[in-house]
């Protein structure tokens, strides 16, 4: 019993040493602030060339949604019904009429490569 008490005491002591109150206050650099860490004096490095922005950077509505910039939300869409009762949309008046980037063989090959990962 005495041995278990000593082991528990040593364990509690080691545990309490590891729990410092200032562990949440880690040294860090704030983005866009001056720093001596990097040679250019910045604390945040510029993204590498070709980096794709993610998140809320949707500057080109036509590119991200496939709809025209000033699309009318109240426009009438032409629909038909087939023999099984399915509704088919036959016109998309707010859709863009051209692909936003030039489609080349390299682009298609890259898409195929990314699809087959």
pTM of the model as a whole: 0.36
pLDDT for position 23 = 64
Report in angstroms the alpha-carbon separations of 52 from 63, 79, 81: 14, 37, 41
pLDDT for position 115 = 95
pLDDT for position 15 = 80
Query: SS3 of 2, please?
Result: helix
Helices (H), 31-82: 61-65
**Average pLDDT per consecutive 10 residues, the chain (117 residues; last block may be shorter):** 87 78 72 82 83 74 80 80 84 80 93 93
């Amino acid at each position: 019993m005495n041995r278990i008490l000593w082991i528990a005491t040593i364990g509690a002591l080691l545990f309490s040493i590891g729990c410092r109150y200032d562990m949440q206050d880690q040294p860090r650099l704030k983005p866009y602030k001056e720093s001596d860490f990097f040679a250019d004096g910045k604390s945040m490095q510029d993204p590498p060339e070709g980096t794709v922005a993610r998140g809320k950077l949707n500057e080109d509505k036509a590119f991200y949604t496939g709809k025209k910039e000033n699309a009318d939300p109240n426009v009438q869409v032409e629909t038909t019904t087939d023999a099984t009762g399915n509704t088919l949309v036959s016109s998309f008046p707010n859709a863009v009429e051209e692909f936003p980037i030039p489609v080349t063989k390299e682009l298609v090959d890259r898409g195929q490569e990314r699809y087959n990962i």
